[in-house]
Amino acid sequence: MKPLVLSIVGVLSFVFGSYGQQKEITTNLFSTYNTYKEGSLKERRIKHKDIQPLLQKFANNPKFKVSKVGESIEGRSISLVSIGTGKTNVFLWSQMHGDEPTATQAIFDILNFLDANSFSEEKKEILSNLTLHFLPMLNPDGAEYYTRRNTLGIDINRDALHLQSPEGRTLKRVRDSLKADFGFNLHDQSTYYNAERTNKPATISYLAPAYNYEKDINDVRANAMKVIVFMNSIVQKYAPGQVGRYNDDFEPRAFGDNIQKWGTSAILIESGGNYDDIEKQEIRKLNYVSILSAIYTIANGSYAKIAIDAYEKIPENDKKMFDLKMLNVSYNLLGKTYQLDLGINHTEIDDPKHTEFYNLGKVADQGDLSTYYGYTTFNASGYTVIPAKVYPKTLESAQQFNSLDALSILKEGFMYIPLLKVPAKLKSTSIPLHMVDTSFILPKTMRLTPGKNPNFFLEKNGKLVYAVINGYLINLDTGKGSFANGLILKK
């Protein structure tokens, strides 16, 4: 890691050292972020209607130009926000995939920053040298249903050649009309990516896409690499070791690869996972700081002298993270005891309106997981898996269920609470117990199996010490754990 750290320090020293007494913009951007954060966008499930008042605000502002540049299949408008008078065009687009909104939020933070009176010298340099163009939501239909694909059922990011979708045609038309010098392709990636051979999540990942199978590096692609090296140095200050790099195998259908081929220096940014940041608000902040810093280095031209050698030193993305990794669990099966590692993940299950969600835990893998990592890692050596039991009393109402002392019941080995009538619309519970109907029957033998919802206790020296409920680990002595929700289970 030392050569990478040295190269990062070198990049920062060059970029900021060349400006003498000028304050380091990145530090100031980070410390003042809350001044510009768009407060109306607080959670990930952003809809088209949520950004319309914001777009209208900028449309009414003479500093900005807001244009309708297209429509989705279902007729939702696609808008472009532009600011600046410079000859260099920088084009940023987000939410090509409807369930990838982190950078959409950051774009509105950046627009608020550009509208404010502070950082006047830096903004003068940016806006006199660049014209910035922001397309905050390319796939509004996908955003409506919080799904990756558009209404046609295709991945817009694989539509650069056939241009079957109106959203893809809009992206191509805007890029061509701007003849953009730089393009920022803004996405979210799985939270289970890690920086290769480390236990740290790939909180931000980058790629300067190849424009041919040979992965040649011309000036266009080299400029993208230089900006990425610079952005990596920024993120390392606030999330050290949590940066990954995508494999650059050429994908002839992808927009990033083709935009690179068409002459725009394409920079892919993927927002991954972070510790205790379910709604990705800290990652949103990293997007804001690193993108604005990149825009500034493009405006003043300092990126041009950055060596691209450090680009290849960014660790590649790997996908070896679990939400919970448990080591050396003792598991009794058919009269014999085995030692297993367990990797447990949580899937978000959307409500019908795609505005909220609950979590469903699953065993993602089990066995020897020594090459994998966890956001939480628990050494279960000396602990034995004990099946959970059904509570012997049947409750009459959800209100009665919610008033239970969950920790006391868990300590007695019960996890499933029968209700006379389970509310039809209820999908999850807010306390660490499962609600079941009276027909619910547990299997006679509990088996740990990949793909199954993990619910069991960990016993040590004859005492139940931990509960694993819906894949969440809870200490029965302290009640502490990262619990989100229990489940409604029926036969």
Q: Are residues 241 and 311 in the same domain?
A: yes
What pLDDT digit, counting tens, does each position of 461-490 carry? 999 999 999 999 999 999 999 999 999 998
Q: Are residues 301 and 406 in the same domain?
A: no
Q: Are residues 102 and 55 in the same domain?
A: yes
What pLDDT digit, counting tens, does each position of 243-255 carry? 999 999 999 999 9
Q: Looking at the 3D structure of the chain, how many domains does it have?
A: 2
Do 333 and 442 contact (CB within 8 A), yes or no?
A: no
- Residue ending a domain, choose from 318, 341, 371: 318
What pLDDT digit, counting tens, does each position of 44-70 carry? 999 999 999 999 999 999 999 999 999
Question: pTM for the whole thing?
Answer: 0.93
Q: Are residues 201 and 345 in the same domain?
A: no
CATH number at residue 136: 3.40.630.10
pLDDT score of 25: 87
pLDDT score of 372: 98
Average pLDDT rounded to a whole number, residues 6-24? 43
Angle between helices 281-300 and 102-115 (to 10 degrees): 50
Q: Are residues 295 and 429 in the same domain?
A: no
Tell me the HSE value of 486 on the side-chain side, using a 13 A CA sphere.
Answer: 22
Q: 224 pLDDT band (50/70/90 cuts)?
A: very high
Do 429 and 435 contact (CB within 8 A), yes or no?
A: yes
pLDDT at 23 over 60: no
Give the whole-angstrom CA distance, residue 239 versus residue 397: 46
Q: Are residues 415 and 386 in the same domain?
A: yes
Average pLDDT rounded to a whole number, residues 341-358? 97
Q: Are residues 360 and 429 in the same domain?
A: yes
Tokens 């297209």 appear where?
70
Give the whole-angstrom CA distance, residue 267 versus residue 92: 9
Tell me the HSE value of 428 on the side-chain side, using a 13 A CA sphere.
Answer: 18
pLDDT score of 162: 98
Q: Are residues 210 and 339 in the same domain?
A: no
Q: 11 pLDDT band (50/70/90 cuts)?
A: very low
pLDDT score of 1: 36
Percent of the chain with pLDDT over 70: 95
Q: Are residues 262 and 353 in the same domain?
A: no
What pLDDT digit, counting tens, does each position of 264-292 carry? 999 999 999 999 999 999 999 999 999 99
Average pLDDT rounded to a whole number, residues 330-336? 95
Q: Are residues 261 and 330 in the same domain?
A: no
pLDDT at 378 over 60: yes
Q: Could you list the residue range(s) of the whole structural domain that residue 436 is in?
A: 322-489
Q: Are residues 250 and 379 in the same domain?
A: no
What pLDDT digit, counting tens, does each position of 149-199 carry? 999 999 999 999 999 999 999 999 999 999 999 999 999 999 999 999 999
pLDDT score of 446: 92
